[in-house]
Structure 1
Amino acid sequence: MHGPASPGWLLVAVCAATGAYCLLRMRSSDETQRRAAGDEALMGFGMAVMAVPGTAFTPPAWVWPVYATVFGGVALRALWAARTGSHHLHHLVGAAAMVYMAAAMAASPAAGHGHGGSGVPALTGGLLVYFAAYVLVSGARLLPVAGVPGSAGAVAGGATAGRAVAWGDRPELARACRLSMGIGMLAMLPAF
């Protein structure tokens, strides 16, 4: 990713930490949680590698077609899994965004990812709108609402009253991971 090095390294750190936490979430006893955590770990680490500032490391040209292929496979898997749950549609959009960014980097690895003087491409703009809406909705879901089943406050209160929820199975932590990756997408997409 081309641009200032400090924000790039901060994005690398946030995405790598999110990916690492998602790897820990894969130890959950819930199979669907494990599968989602694996997809999110791959996305977090993929975003971290893609966000490394170009001044620090410029990968060889063959890396970007490999990226596009890997995340194209992730997108196909998410499309298949979307039959059973709507959250997989978000994984599909995220994987498609990674394919798009990898293709843009493959097309102009040395010249930067900018779009010249023609403004923001329509696909980039559409992805920015999607991820901005996703971040706002995800952030709102993290706000505690006392007494509402399924809210962060209700889960925390219920955990202390009943059996304790393992830290890797806490839904608010999974939402926080998804929120941080959505913010990471918002930070990365303008460069394309």
Structure 2
Amino acid sequence: MHGPASPGWLLVALCAATGGYCLLRMRSKVEEQRKAAGGEALMGFGMAAMAVPPAVFTPPAWAWPAYTAVFGAAALRALWALWAARATSAHHLHHLVGTGAMVYMAAAMAASPSFSSAHAHGHDPAHDGSGVPLLTGALLLYFAGYVLLCGVRLLPVAGVGGAALAWGDRPEVARACRLAMGIGMLAMLLTM
């Protein structure tokens, strides 16, 4: 979340643009698009806010617990949606993992107030010779697999046609946004 400034700004732009598109999807006439878009917009804007380089803006001490609370509430909502689906819903399960990862990262930042200053001096307190924490490694594996799966789903299928759709209803753009957020999550987890 707090690496070099240039990649940090690219991550901010990517996540903010994705969140903006998800807001457009909330106006869709397709109910499935509207339901998914709100949570994805929250994730996009939340990731953008967490990725702002610390040289530009160092969040106040209350920001990390606030992020933890917001994404904890989003995780509970995703858990409720998963339970209400009465079956394994890959979409709700992914949102649960994503919001859980955001809670994990925000809680790690809240627990380590010197994290950003230690990063600026080339020292990472989370890696004092012990390697990658188990949960971080598991999340990295999950999101790497998710990114690969999203990339495969973007490949064009021969013979698929249909009527022109509004921008908020285009499934390939929604998939591209999910791919972008998956890549963003990988980038954020790599800095943990």
TM-score by length of 2: 0.90
RMSD: 1.2
SS in 2 for 1:118: coil
Contact 1:2 1:55 in 2 (8 A): no
- Structure 2 stretches of 5 or more lacking a match? none
Number of corresponding residues: 180
Identity of aligned residues (%): 76
Cα deviation 1:100-139 (Å, max 9, x = unaligned) = 0000110113233732221100000000000000000000
- Structure 1 stretches of 5 or more lacking a match? 148-153
Q: Which residue of 1 aligns with 2:61?
A: 61
Compute the displacement of 1:29 (Å): 1.1
Q: Which residue of 1 aligns with 2:24?
A: 24
Contact 2:18 2:181 in 1 (8 A): yes
Code of the residue aligned with 1:38 in structure 2: it is: G
Kindly report which structure 2 residues correspond to 1:82-93, keeping only aligned pairs within 5 A, or say none.
82-83=82-83, 84=85, 85-93=89-97
Contact 1:26 1:37 in 2 (8 A): yes
Kindly report which structure 2 residues correspond to 1:11-160, keeping only aligned pairs within 5 A, or say none.
11-83=11-83, 84=85, 85-112=89-116, 114=124, 115-116=126-127, 117-147=129-159, 154=160, 157-159=161-163
Moved over 3 A (4+): none
SS in 1 for 2:53: coil
Compute the displacement of 1:165 (Å): 1.5
Distance in 2 of aligned mates of 1:167 and 1:10: 23
Distance in 1 of aligned mates of 2:55 and 2:153: 37
Compute the displacement of 1:31 (Å): 2.4
